[in-house]
Amino acid sequence: MGLLSRKDANLILDPLADNNPITIQVLGICSALAITAKLVPSVVMAVSVIFVLGVGNVIISLMRNIIPSKIRIIVQLIVVATLVIIVDQVLKAFSYELSKELSVFIGLIITNCIIMGRFEAFALGNGPWKSFLDGIGNALGYGLILVVVGFFRELFGSGTLFGIEIFGNPVEKSGLYAYGYENNGFMVLPPMALIVVGIIIWVQRSRNKDLIEEN
Amino acid sequence: MGMKQNLHKLKEKYRGKKMAPAFNALHTFLYTPNEVTHGGTHVKAADDLKRTMNIVILALVPCLIFGIFNAGYQHYAAIDMAKGLTVEPSWFGNFFTWDNFWLGAGKVIPLVVVSYGVGLIVEFIFAVIKGHEVEEGYLVTGMLVPLIVPIDIPLWMLAVAVVFGVVIGKEVFGGTGMNILNPALTIRAFLFFAYPTWMSGDKVWVHGAVERAGTADAISGETILGSYAQNQDVIYSISDMFWGFIPGSVGETSKVLILLGAFILIFTKIGSWRIIVSTLIGALVMGLIFNGVVSAGWIDEGSTFYGLMSVDFWQHLFIGSILFGAVYMATDPVSAAQTNKGKWIYGFLIGFISIMIRVFNPAYPEGVFLAILLMNVFAPTIDHYVVQANVKRRQKRLKLKAA
């Protein structure tokens, strides 16, 4: 392979499927439930996490030899917090409505288990390039699920995708709505996000039997 | 060689093939299976799963038939009332009439067909994919579903909900016998949260009320609970409620027929009398508490809850679907508590919470299905503690003996 060695490529590809942070490690569930009712916030959240985790992993990896291990959690927190504040301010400056919609959940990226998890598990023990790839890979895996869940929830819950009406207009009764179709209000509620994530996990595990835990 | 023998032969021929479970399901539906227990038999009983399910369905049939007539009766009664006439129900005068039957059957039979058709297709697909036999579990669910939905629910919504209920409520847990939640109530809960405008309010309970809304022919479809929740007068008498001449979900209005079903279930030992009785006790206790609150003067007539709180405690059993829930839903042997003591606790809490939700939550006019689903989730916990308590008691006894 040209750009990336096989090992490096796996750092990005593994978390997309067989080691996905949400469906396999079951991390970062709360944000996945909270902001996936629409596609736009899901995408913004995914991009934010890609930025925070990619950059954060590099920073931690660069500092890994000078951080005293007793205070490493605090150092990690400061790094995440700084990055999250950057994201938050950028959102507020350029897309205020969206930042209001995402409300606390941008701030709560700090507590997203995926981020601290990758810092601890990977960046502290690997070089910057590998850490960068790992960060991007895990954030992509997280973002992928967010977007898939957001896709189904917005399509069936609101009948739109990125705010564009797919099934017609429910108020004017045009398109599908003229035939009696109605939006599924349950899709907009958080429990449905959990069920959609559950179905994704189900599909994934029935395609790849190795993922099924023994019990 | 009759058809029965031919079918048995076909069964042998196709054993192990992919479509075998689907074939076998049809086969057992028509005839007694020719399989017998291998090895020593320990329990000898004539009731298998199929027979158990059939008795529940039998107990539901009176409710279904009444529901068909009631759908027509409510429709015509509402039209007459909108014209300003007073309508007195009489059994053969204006209830058991062909007009009522045709209108009701035209609405109710499609619900039954969709419920069974979609549900059994899902069951067949899962049986073929997973290679197990089709289980009888859906037979009762498929009958319960049409009885607990409003008459005018669009059929495609019902179909979507049935797919959801059977797949998410049952198949993901491993099929019949493994489900945590009652599938029929899962279907109702899905409908309730997905399409609330079709599942609650004052328009959905009488056929035609939705499409006539806003026109000169508008008719009301308010249920008794709806009237109470808005502190309005209720136009139905207790005897109407008891016999079932009231608007409501298709099959849950007639209390007398539900009681008949309860006797069938208790007599055949299929429904647990402990659960039924304790659910009703729970509901009465909660009703008494609310009556006490009213008579103590803690709330006045201006309060939102006054209407429902001041309902006589025993009347709570006649309005809404508490009785139907207690008899047919709470007693589901799979999702209910298994231990005898557990059943008392489980039932009591269902009744208690049902009335609490009914009174306190104006967004959910009826709380029975929510209460049962909640207690379904807690049933294993209740059983665990009942069993542990028993273990501890016996250990203590053992110690006393040893000492």
The DSSP line for A160-173 is EETTEESS--TTTT
How close B172 gets to chain A, by Cα (Å)? 9
Mean pLDDT to the nearest integer, A168-195: 82
Structural contact between residues B353 and B366, judged by C-beta atoms closer than 8 angstroms? no
By the CB < 8 Å criterion, does A185 face chain B? yes
The DSSP line for A62-98 is HHTTTS-GGGHHHHHHHHHHHHHHHHHHHHHHH-HHH
Would you place residue B33 in the very low, low, confident or very high pLDDT band (cuts 50, 70, 90)? low
| B99: pLDDT strictly greater than 90 | no
How close A28 gets to chain B, by Cα (Å)? 23
So what's the pLDDT on residue B221? 61
Q: Of the candidates B312, B280, B283, which has an alpha carbon nearest to the alpha carbon of residue B295?
A: B312
Which residues in chain A have Cβ-Cβ distances shorter than 8 Å to B154? Answer: 180
Mean pLDDT to the nearest integer, B291-304: 79
Q: Which of B154, B168, B196 sits opposite A185 (nearest CB)?
A: B196
Which residues in chain A have Cβ-Cβ distances shorter than 8 Å to B198? Answer: 182
| A149: pLDDT strictly greater than 50 | yes
Which residues in chain B have Cβ-Cβ distances shorter than 8 Å to A170? Answer: none
Q: Which of B154, B194, B197 sits opposite A186 (nearest CB)?
A: B194
* Encoded amino acid at B117, one letter: G
Rounded Cα gap, residues B120 and B112, in angstroms: 12
Interface residue of A184, A195, A204 to substitute, partner B, most B CBs within 10 Å: A184
Q: pLDDT tens for residues B204-258?
A: 777 777 767 666 666 666 677 777 766 666 777 788 888 888 888 888 888 899 9
Mean pLDDT to the nearest integer, B53-58: 86
What number of H helices and E strands is found in chain B? 17, 0
The fraction of chain B above a pLDDT of 70, given in percent, is: 87
Any domain includes A35: yes
Q: Could you give the ipTM of this predicted complex? A: 0.82
**pLDDT, greater one: A91 or B176:** A91
Q: Which of B156, B172, B195 sits opposite A185 (nearest CB)?
A: B195
Task: Test B195 with A195 for CB contact under 8 angstroms.
Answer: no
Which residues in chain A have Cβ-Cβ distances shorter than 8 Å to B190? Answer: 186
Residue B151 contacts by C-beta under 8 Å, 6 or more apart in sequence? B71, B107, B108, B204, B205, B206, B207, B250
Structural contact between residues A92 and A99, judged by C-beta atoms closer than 8 angstroms? yes
By the CB < 8 Å criterion, does B314 face chain A? no
So what's the pLDDT on residue B139? 85
Q: Count of domains in chain A?
A: 1
Task: Test B194 with A202 for CB contact under 8 angstroms.
Answer: no
Which residues in chain B have Cβ-Cβ distances shorter than 8 Å to A180? Answer: 154, 156
Any domain includes A53: yes
* Encoded amino acid at B365, one letter: P
Rounded Cα gap, residues B285 and B295, in angstroms: 15
Mean pLDDT to the nearest integer, A133-141: 89
Structural contact between residues B321 and B247, judged by C-beta atoms closer than 8 angstroms? no
Structural contact between residues A147 and A24, judged by C-beta atoms closer than 8 angstroms? no
Q: Which of B193, B197, B198 sits opposite A186 (nearest CB)?
A: B193
Would you place residue B35 in the very low, low, confident or very high pLDDT band (cuts 50, 70, 90)? low
How big is the A-B interface in CB pairs under 8 Å? 23
Task: Test B194 with A195 for CB contact under 8 angstroms.
Answer: no
Rounded Cα gap, residues B41 and B132, in angstroms: 23
Which residue in chain B is spatially nearest to A158 when comparing CA positions? B194
Task: Test B195 with A198 for CB contact under 8 angstroms.
Answer: no
So what's the pLDDT on residue B344? 94
Task: Test B154 with A198 for CB contact under 8 angstroms.
Answer: no
So what's the pLDDT on residue B342? 92
Mean pLDDT to the nearest integer, A43-48: 88
| A1: pLDDT strictly greater than 70 | no
DSSP state, residue B203: S
Of A99-113, B19-33, B244-258, least confident by mean pLDDT is B19-33
Q: Of the candidates B92, B109, B36, B190, which has an alpha carbon nearest to the alpha carbon of residue A187?
A: B190
| B279: pLDDT strictly greater than 80 | yes
By the CB < 8 Å criterion, does B157 face chain A? yes
Out of A2-16, A122-136, B338-352, give the one with best mean pLDDT.
Answer: B338-352
By the CB < 8 Å criterion, does A127 face chain B? no
Expressed as residue numbers, the domain containing A46 is 22-203
What average pLDDT does the structure give for chain B?
83
Of A105-109, B45-49, B130-134, least confident by mean pLDDT is B45-49
Q: pLDDT tens for residues B341-373?
A: 999 999 999 999 998 888 887 666 678 888 999
Which residues in chain B have Cβ-Cβ distances shorter than 8 Å to A189? Answer: 193
Structural contact between residues B306 and B362, judged by C-beta atoms closer than 8 angstroms? no
By the CB < 8 Å criterion, does A155 face chain B? no
So what's the pLDDT on residue A114? 84
Which residues in chain A have Cβ-Cβ distances shorter than 8 Å to B181? Answer: none
What average pLDDT does the structure give for chain A?
84
Q: Of the candidates B258, B289, B253, B252, which has an alpha carbon nearest to the alpha carbon of residue B276?
A: B258
Q: Which of A181, A189, A202 sits opposite B193 (nearest CB)?
A: A189
Rounded alpha-carbon distances, angstroms, from residue A31 to A47, A110, A137, A179, B100: 14, 11, 18, 35, 53
Instruction: Map residue B27 onto helix, strand or coil.
Output: helix
Any domain includes A48: yes
Q: Please list the residues that pair with A160 across neighbouring strands.
A: A165
